Structure 1
Amino acid sequence: MAFLDVIFSLKFTDYLNLILFSFLIYVFQFYYKYFTRPNKLPGPLPLPFIECSYLFKSDVKQLFISLHEKYGDICEVYLGGLRRISISRPEYVENMLTPSSTNTTFMIRWPYSEGSEEFGMSGRGLIFNHDIKSWRYNRQFFNQAIQSPSFNIDAVKWADKIFQELEGYWESLANANLFNDISQDNKWSLETDLSLWSNSFTNDMIIVLTTGERSYSMASIYNKLSPIKMNLSGTLIEDSDKFVQRIREHTLGASFFMFLVSSLRHNIPFIKNNVKLLVENRDYLFEKLENIIKRRRKEIEETPVGEKLRHDLLTSLIIANTERDMDNVKTVGGEKFRPMTDIEIRGNLLDAFLGGTNTTANLFCFVTYHICHYPQVKQKMLAEIDSIFPQNTCINYDGLFKLDYCIAIIKEVARLMPVLNVLARYTNNPCEIAGYKWDAGTMFHVNLNGIHRHKDHWSNPDTFDPDRFYKKNDEIDKHKYSFAMWGGGLRICPGKKLAMIELLSLMVLIFRKYNVELVDEKAPLNARSAILTFCEKLLVRIKPKN
């Protein structure tokens, strides 16, 4: 009663003074913690409540480029309730990216957070999984499914088959006179947005390779552009083009949940509207994936035990450590893995689609953009392709990886335009980085744009020069972590071989048969960045060669 008497006796000004006093206490504690932090590094001054979010415009690439330019090779920024250490020098990331099967200090990409939980990323799949045991379990089956020789051979066959489908759509659109008339030499010519086709191609590839069933993303695009419609009955995803766009938006929107605290995400008007749409998009994707899983699980249940099942990632995840897979039981630390839940399988499928669609498709667009701007590079590339895959010969796995100059082009484009802008690592053990000792629970961000263009490691770092990676070149040997196309350490990309197969296949299949040029060579590359950099549009003119 005495406490209530005190409360009721307070005046309005007393409440204001109490609020002001509490605010001052919070600000004092905030800056006391900031100014007494260990390993004081240069960086923007954080503000109470909003930290450094006044610098964040969802473009992660430009944020870390600007930090590097202003504060140097190692600096800090406060976002999402975390002190984030930005690193832009290769020597500083050696401990982080060195392969090791036992050291888990740098295995975790992101800590658990309410943002990752809200976005449906926490503790599931591979990309954002903070649970080491769960991550090891998922990685086992990824490696088993997508790194086998048979998987790689199937990937080459599907690339050839799906590209033949793509050729048919291009020729049909051109002959329908939707864009250009047939040229005087009776060869059709088509002006189109290559980014649409590359994203749909890689989506159709990853879905058939992970589920064993077809989607028809390219056909969906064709139906939107052509008066003649394709019958898409029997497709795994009814509106495959819509699914591709939803995957894209999901990837772009992840930064809102990683770099902003809940109070900012849900209260600042222009941000909360985006977050609302992203949550709706998340629910759409989850529903689609759950339907795919339920359908496949039912098919497996209706298949007699002992009868051979399809070998794909989805089937492997569903039957893992069940009576259907007793010959392939997985254990870790002597403990048998349990079967996966549908939610866990959903996380793995989503990661496969995220990693297998956007990254490869956008990198191919960047490769095409650079090839069209450098005629000498293009001629050298075509000569190599013709020497290994003459016209009318089928592509094959062994031949693709003899295309040394094509691989050099891909790597040089990835150096200049890394699709993934930062490698995130959250330590679960104390460590030493850049001469500083760090406690467990430190968040690091490797700024790939800074590392890939560091003037101490690359001559003329802003110049496009595939010869850096061609044959024997001492420049790439200066420091092995001056180039980290696939990440590194335990977290190195499990789909790197598949991505290279798709990129090389497209380079061979398109450029040996078609003349490809930019509609406007003077136009800058139309790209948008978040955690990944996306090609928004790439208008090209495609014409069969004589």
Structure 2
Amino acid sequence: NPVVVISNAQIAGPLLNSTLVAESKFHHRTGPRQGINELGISRKGLYLNEDTESWTRNRKFFANGISSVNAAKDCVTYARKAFKEMEKSWIEIESHSEGPANVDLIEWIFRWTTDIIFQVTTSENVNSIQTYKKTILGKINNNNEKLGINSSFKKLTRSLSLASTDDGSRMIIDTEIFIRNIKDFFPAVWTFLATPKWTRDYVPPVSAMARRFKDSLGMVNKELTKIVKEKREEIIIDRSRAKEVKMDFLTMMITSEKDKVTLGDDEVRENLLHAIAGGINTLGNTLCFIIYTLTKHPKVKNQLMHEISSVCKDKNDGNDSTNAYVLNYEDLAKLEYTEAVIKEALRILPTVPLNLRIAGEDCRIGEHQFKAGTQFILNQQGIHLNPKHWENPTEFDPSRFLPPNSAKHIQKHSLLHFGDGTRKCPGKLLAMTEMKCFLALFYL
């Protein structure tokens, strides 16, 4: 079947206009693919699920558990606590370093988002920030030993255990291994989607990469299956004791009996995988791009910092031990310029530059007629940088998203940083909440 690339918002309109599955000719991302079957995600989860009934059921779980305002409010609390933990870790690392400590910000953001998304989806803190801190402290100690540096720190690091948190509680998963493997999720999906089986099996370096991806996802699935099973047992015990069960995303899926249909462990795990992979893998690059770009645009940076300092001033009443300043969910709505900066960054460098849709029946797109089965590729970055839709499209200008510019210049479907139509990203509210939180806490 032919493949058609679309880089114009108006032409893309018919693929994205409908938000109802029953009315959309372009609900599915792609047709049956052997590679997606091999990964086991063709009829489970959300991302490339070909089973419309299963996808619709799963989407409702995401809407109630990930897209809700309650999840976003919880996210602010988790984000604030995790950021404070991260700041304390930086200070501790620098105190044991010979000279100023380097901060690999994107790696810290991965740990920050990991702690947040696990708490939002499972109510469990996996303490990835603590684990990463201990990993770095261990490297510092090893380097000191090579240099012949003796200090009390050497004794300290020998007592550090990656199997427990600072307060001595058990680690749920080894987050360093988990993060390394979860980073392979989207590259694995695209590799298995785009390459023939014989290439994946026999043609280096693709074959080696495909084996690594399968191993990585296998280990991720093993860890998430363990979490699902433990949560099931926990719910049974809590109910037997008449204890209230916190209704997080994972609990919601396990306890649901809608239409007398219960989800098995595999389906629950796949939904959890898609939520966690999306929550961890998508924010780091965007936040680092924003921070880098702000160094190149000092006026924008100063305006953002002024807004943050005026909205998120010190409101600590002395009872909050998580931070010297308190960031509330209600504050985020006031960060209008901060949101404009995020949108402009996602316009220039979208997290997902390409998106897929397949024609479910014969259709007319633009001035052309296409048969059912035609594969469309939405070049979202091309649309974002199309001069027909954006004035000076390569310039970083957050003011284009502020009144009166926003109402005047933004055309329908010309901004697709979270997709559109039936496949619009269910994590939009959560992602925007996390990014606003990070920038507010980072620049305050």
Normalising by structure 1, what TM-score? 0.72
Distance 1:95 1:179 in 2: 58
One-letter amino acid of the structure 1 residue matched with residue 64 of structure 2: Q
For residues 260 and 6 of structure 2, what CA distance do their matches in structure 1 show?
37
Q: Is the 8 A contact 1:179 1:191 kept in 2?
A: no
Alignment of 1:109-120 (within 5 A): 109-120=29-40
Matched, 1:240 2:160: no
Counterpart position of 2:65: 145
Amino acid in structure 2 at the alignment position of 1:369:
Y
Amino acid at match of 1:89: N
Cα 1:476–1:124, aligned 2, differ >3 Å: closer, same or farther?
Answer: farther
Matched, 1:313 2:249: yes
Partner in structure 1 of residue 342 of structure 2: 410
1:477-488 aligned at under 5 Å gives the runs 477-488=409-420
Selected match of 1:458 from 382, 390, 407: 390
Secondary structure at 1:85 match in 2: strand
- Partners of 2:115 and 2:406 lie apart in 1 by 39
Q: Distance in 2 between matches of 1:238 and 1:150?
A: 26
- Aligned AA (1:354): A
CA distance in 1, matches of 2:439, 2:67: 22
Whether 1:442 and 2:374 are equivalent positions in the alignment is yes
Q: Deviations over 1:56-109 (max 9, x none)?
A: xxxxxxxxxxxxxxxxxxxxxxxxxx5321111111111112243241312111
* Deviation of 1:490 (Å): 1.2
Residues in 2 aligned to 1:451 and 1:384: alpha-carbon distance in whole angstroms: 30
Is the 8 Å Cα contact of residues 105 and 428 (structure 1) preserved in structure 2?
Answer: yes
User: After the TM superposition, which of the residue ranges 479-488 and 409-418 deviates more from structure 2?
Assistant: 479-488
CA drift of 1:419 comes to 1.1
Q: Compare the two structures and name the one with the higher helix fraction.
A: 2
What is the aligned length?
409
Question: Does structure 2 retain, via aligned residues, the 8 Å contact 1:218–1:241?
Answer: no
Question: Which residue pairs with 2:3 in the alignment?
Answer: 84
1:264 aligns with 2:199: yes
User: What is the CA distance between 1:262 and its match in structure 2?
Assistant: 0.8
- Alpha carbons 1:469, 1:476 under 8 Å: kept: no
Aligned-partner SS, 1:303: helix
Deviation at 1:179, TM superposition (A): 4.7
CA–CA separation in structure 1 for the residues paired with 2:191 and 2:200: 7
Moved more, 304-313 or 407-416: 304-313
2:12 is the counterpart of 1:93? yes
Q: Secondary structure at the match of 2:361?
A: coil
- Shift in alpha-carbon separation, 1:427–1:162, aligned structure 2, 3 A: same
CA–CA distance in 2 between the matches of 1:177 and 1:476? 52
Instruction: Note if contact 2:239-2:245 (Cα within 8 Å) is conserved in structure 1.
Output: no
What is aligned with 2:111?
200
Q: Which residue of 2 aligns with 1:302?
A: 237
Gaps of 5+ in 2: 142-156, 315-323
Per-residue deviation, 1:434: 1.9
Give the 5 Å matches for 1:495-506: 495-506=427-438
Residue 387 (structure 1) aligns with: 310
Q: Matches of 1:249 and 1:147 in 2, distance apart?
A: 24
SS at match of 2:202: coil
- Shift in Å at residue 398 of structure 1? 1.5
1:482 alignment partner, SS class: coil
> Aligned partners of 1:235 and 1:498: how far apart in 2?
28
CA contact (8 A) 2:67 2:428 kept: no
**1:199, 1:362 within 8 Å by CA — same for their partners in 2?**
no
CA distance in 2, matches of 1:411, 1:433: 28
**How far did 1:149 drift?**
2.9
Question: C-alpha separation between the residues in 2 aligned to 1:373 and 1:241?
Answer: 32
* Cα offsets for 1:264-313 (capped at 9, x unmatched): 21121221111111111121111111111111111122233554212111
Partner of 1:349: 272
Name the stretch that deviates more: 390-399 or 308-317.
390-399
* Deviation for aligned residue 1:145: 1.4
Question: 2: CA distance between counterparts of 1:254 and 1:368?
Answer: 29
Contact (CA 8 Å) 2:354, 2:377: kept in 1 or not?
Answer: yes
Instruction: Rate the CA distance shift 1:204–1:431 in 2: closer, same or farther, 3 A.
Output: same
Query: Which secondary structure state, in structure 1, belongs to the residue aligned with residue 238 of structure 2?
Result: coil
Q: What secondary structure does 2:378 align onto?
A: strand
Aligned to 1:494: 426
The amino acid of 2:302's aligned partner reads Q
**Is 1:365 matched with 2:301?**
no
Q: Report the secondary structure of 2:419's partner residue.
A: coil
Structure 2: how far apart are the matches of 1:482 and 1:361?
24
Which residue number corresponds to residue 40 of structure 1? none
Q: Which has the higher strand share?
A: 1
CA distance in 2 between partners of 1:135 and 1:385 (Å): 39
Residue matched to 1:172: 92
Contact 2:225–2:265 (CA<8 Å) still a contact in 1?
yes
1:429 lines up with 2:364 in the alignment: no
- The answer to whether the Cα contact below 8 Å between 1:405 and 1:466 also exists between their aligned partners in 2 is yes
SS of residue paired to 2:3: strand
TM-score by length of 2: 0.88
CA drift at 1:477: 3.1
Q: Deviation of residue 178 (structure 1)?
A: 4.5
Report the aligned-residue RMSD: 1.7
- What amino acid maps onto 1:208 in structure 2? Q
Change (3 A) 1:106 1:235: farther
Shift of residue 236, structure 1, vs aligned partner: 5.3
Q: What whole-Å deviation, never above 9, does each CA across 1:420-478 have from its counterpart, x for those lacking one?
A: 11111122232221222222222111011110000222222111111111222058635
Residue aligned with 1:423, SS: strand
Instruction: State the match for 1:218 in structure 2.
Output: 129
C-alpha separation in 1, matches of 2:50 and 2:409:
33
**Contact 2:173 2:223 (C-alpha < 8 Å) held by counterparts:** no
Aligned to 2:77: 157
Q: CA deviation at 1:196?
A: 0.3
The answer as to whether partners of 1:156 and 1:501 remain within 8 angstroms in 2 is yes
Secondary structure of residue in 1 paired with 2:364: strand
Partner of 2:339, secondary structure, is: helix
- The secondary structure found in structure 1 opposite 2:369 is strand
Counterparts of 1:476 and 1:220, CA distance in 2:
48
Bigger CA radius of gyration: 1
Q: d(CA) in 2 for partners of 1:290 and 1:316?
A: 16
Q: Is the 8 A contact 1:87 1:444 kept in 2?
A: yes
Write the distance in 2 (CA, Å) between the matches of 1:258 and 1:296: 32
CA contact (8 A) 1:429 1:441 kept: yes
Q: Distance in 1 between matches of 2:364 and 2:104?
A: 47
Distance in 2, matches of 1:303 and 1:315, equals: 12
Which has the higher relative contact order, 1 or 2, with Cα contacts under 8 A spaced 6 or more apart? 2
Q: Report the AA paired with residue 387 of structure 2.
A: K
d(CA) in 2 for partners of 1:504 and 1:178? 34
8 A Cα contact 1:110 1:129, kept in partner: no
- Correspondence for 2:41: 121
Measured in 2, the distance between the counterparts of 1:83 and 1:256 equals: 19
Q: Among all aligned residue pairs of Structure 1 and Structure 2, give the percentage whose two residues are the same amino acid.
A: 30
